[in-house]
Structure 1
Amino acid sequence: MSLPFLLFSVPATAACQLGPNTVSDQLVLPLRSEVRHDHHNYFGQLLQLALDKTAQDHGPCEVILSQQAKPQARLYQELSRQENIHIIDATVMPERNKRFRAIPFPLLKGLMGYRIAFIRADDQPRFNQVKKLEDLRAFRAGQGDTWFDVQVLRMHGIPVTTTSKYESLFRMLRAGRFDFFPRGAQEVMSEAESFDISGLAVESSLVLAYPWPVYFYVNKEHTLLAERVEEGLKRARADGSFDEFFRAHPLIIAVFEQLNLEQRTLLYLCNPQHSDPALLQQSDAWIRPWPKDLCARFSLDAATVN
């Protein structure tokens, strides 16, 4: 029988201060049912690293990973109500920043914004000819209808077809409803193993890149937890242990070794939600610093492209 939680090893006397008058025996990080790839251990281990970095100041705190998957919307409700969970990893969106307290530290060094696509296998020669954004505009993308990527792609003149059902995107691609299905670099290989991609392939020559960080979020009342996690992450970055963890984790190794990320043609896109030069030029926060003129180089008037 599987356990409902996966525990990391810390002293049995551990306790976690959430707010001025709120303490929990353990810190619960949930598993989302929408997650189609085994990356939750990455975030759990990174969170434990941050807490360990601050244990001398605040005492030990144990992270547990819930093994009972729930829809993302349900988890946001629980976080708002301070029920069952204490912290969640999520891509940064304006509405999330209003609803919860964001811990502003890019947990994947921007890797979520490096997008690699599923395509029809026979179309690889066509994609090999794409060398600039203008070339890519001849292709139609497929995305979930509520995904923020839709806005980014359309702003750059790339037509997009959408659907409400994730699994349908593979069938629609196979049927020729669109030409490519971009996914986060840390997602695409495990999704290739989890879904029927007969007739499809992971595109081998391109990577789209736009700033789209993943942060930890907590309930707004849990100020002490937010401050502790942020301080722990910063200490880990300063002493090199964050980069060591990042480079050694199987999830990250797979991205660079299996996908040849460094050898692909890189097409930058602007994400207007994350265009602050002070953030984008933090060299130690990202896989690589973003171009200083990332958004200035584009005339983003193509939002009407369907």
Structure 2
Amino acid sequence: MIKLAALSLIVLIMPFSASAAVWVITYPDSVIKHDERYVYPLSLLHLALEKTGVRYDIRPSSSPMRQEKSLKRLEENLEINLVWSMTDTQRENQLLPIRIPIAKGLIGWRMFLVHKEDPFLDTPISTLDDLLKYKPVQGIAWPDTKILQANGFNVITARDYNEAKALVSGRVADFFPRSVIEISSELAADEFKTLVIKPKLAIEYPSAMYFFVNKRNKTLAKLIETGLNRAIEDGSFDELFYSHFQQLLEELNFEGITYFELSNPLLPMSAQTHKPALWYRPKK
């Protein structure tokens, strides 16, 4: 009887304990103060977790981390338990991706930061061959570097975002391709006011930015995936997406832009490119 009573007590307590548990999610803090690029991913993460009904606490790491370090720490299951990053085959081998492109593929739409006095700013670009004559800069560990190289670009590499921007400011590189969801806020944060956006020109390659967790953290991955799918189904995912990016895309005249389509040999076959609801395409 005592054992039966004790078992009954455990059964009663377990649901309460599970519902009372708090999911602590730690992401890598940015090396850039007040990084506007973090606003949307964190908002979407909050939305996904709200859709699951769990209690949670989202917090930054105790110190800033560059991307390469944060990916390594996540693989080692140290300090952080979630990152958001552009996917490639290597990252999906090392980490566990939640295969829903959180920015609907806009991470692969790239416009160009250039020095305001660089002749490239006013040079007409009619073909991809015209563009290949100029040198872009990208981070040495970024997937974008290999993608651009695979498409014939002579890429200058930098250790991180700040160095890449400095190489354009110093006119060592001709342009710095930045996602359309990043470029306006980054331009506004340019303290030296030497950079501008080359208008009406972009490149596009199929690419997805995912939430990633450690390979062993399948429960957290399933939790976030469930919340994201619920947000997609009830329309709140798109509502959040367009509330963040619709005005930005209009300001960039994105519907009337000239762009060159590039291949992405690093995009895993598992990317759900066959689901139009997960991807943004201009009306043009």
Note whether the superposition's TM-score is higher than 0.5.
yes
Three-state SS of the structure 1 residue aligned to 2:148 is helix
Give 1:104 shift. 0.5
1:288 & 1:51 partners in 2: Cα distance?
27
Show the counterpart of 1:54. Answer: 52
**TM-score, normalised by the number of residues in structure 2:** 0.81
Of the candidates 19, 23, 26, which is equivalent to residue 26 of structure 1?
23
- The answer to whether the 8 A contact 2:61-2:79 is kept is no
Cα 1:223/1:174, change in 2 over 3 Å = closer
| 146-155 vs 72-81, greater mean Cα deviation | 72-81
Show the counterpart of 2:278. Answer: 285
| 77-86 vs 102-111, greater mean Cα deviation | 77-86
Three-state SS of the structure 1 residue aligned to 2:138 is strand
- The answer to whether the 8 A contact 1:16-1:27 is kept is no
1:208 & 1:44 partners in 2: Cα distance?
26
Cα 1:266/1:109, change in 2 over 3 Å = same
2:248 & 2:26 partners in 1: Cα distance?
24
Of the candidates 239, 247, 257, which is equivalent to residue 244 of structure 1?
239
- The answer to whether the 8 A contact 1:144-1:162 is kept is yes
Show the counterpart of 1:42. Answer: 40
Give 1:214 shift. 0.9
Three-state SS of the structure 1 residue aligned to 2:202 is strand
Alignment of 1:192-211 (within 5 A): 192-211=187-206
Of the candidates 264, 267, 275, which is equivalent to residue 274 of structure 1?
267
2:16 & 2:76 partners in 1: Cα distance?
24
Residues 1:189 and 2:184 are matched in the alignment: yes
**TM-score, normalised by the number of residues in structure 1:** 0.75
- The answer to whether the 8 A contact 1:15-1:62 is kept is no
Cα 1:240/1:159, change in 2 over 3 Å = same
1:77 & 1:146 partners in 2: Cα distance?
12
Three-state SS of the structure 2 residue aligned to 1:39 is helix
Give 1:162 shift. 2.1
- The answer to whether the 8 A contact 1:27-1:87 is kept is no
Show the counterpart of 1:70. Answer: 64
Cα 1:253/1:31, change in 2 over 3 Å = farther
> Which structure shows the bigger proportion of residues in helix conformation?
2
**Matching residue's letter, 2:260:** L
Show the counterpart of 2:92. Answer: 97
The unaligned stretches of length 5 or more in structure 1 are 1-12, 18-22, 290-306
2:281 & 2:18 partners in 1: Cα distance?
34
1:231 & 1:114 partners in 2: Cα distance?
27
Three-state SS of the structure 2 residue aligned to 1:30 is strand
- The answer to whether the 8 A contact 1:15-1:26 is kept is no
Three-state SS of the structure 2 residue aligned to 1:208 is strand
2:115 & 2:261 partners in 1: Cα distance?
23
Cα 1:259/1:16, change in 2 over 3 Å = farther
- The answer to whether the 8 A contact 1:114-1:185 is kept is yes
Three-state SS of the structure 2 residue aligned to 1:119 is strand
Give 1:246 shift. 0.7
Cα 1:220/1:262, change in 2 over 3 Å = same
Give 1:195 shift. 2.8
Alignment of 1:74-93 (within 5 A): 74-93=69-88
Three-state SS of the structure 1 residue aligned to 2:278 is coil
Show the counterpart of 1:8. Answer: none
Three-state SS of the structure 2 residue aligned to 1:130 is coil
Give 1:165 shift. 4.9
Cα 1:155/1:83, change in 2 over 3 Å = closer
Give 1:283 shift. 0.6
Q: Deviations over 1:29-58 (max 9, x none)?
A: 424334573232322221222222232xxx
Give 1:217 shift. 1.1
The unaligned stretches of length 5 or more in structure 2 are 1-14
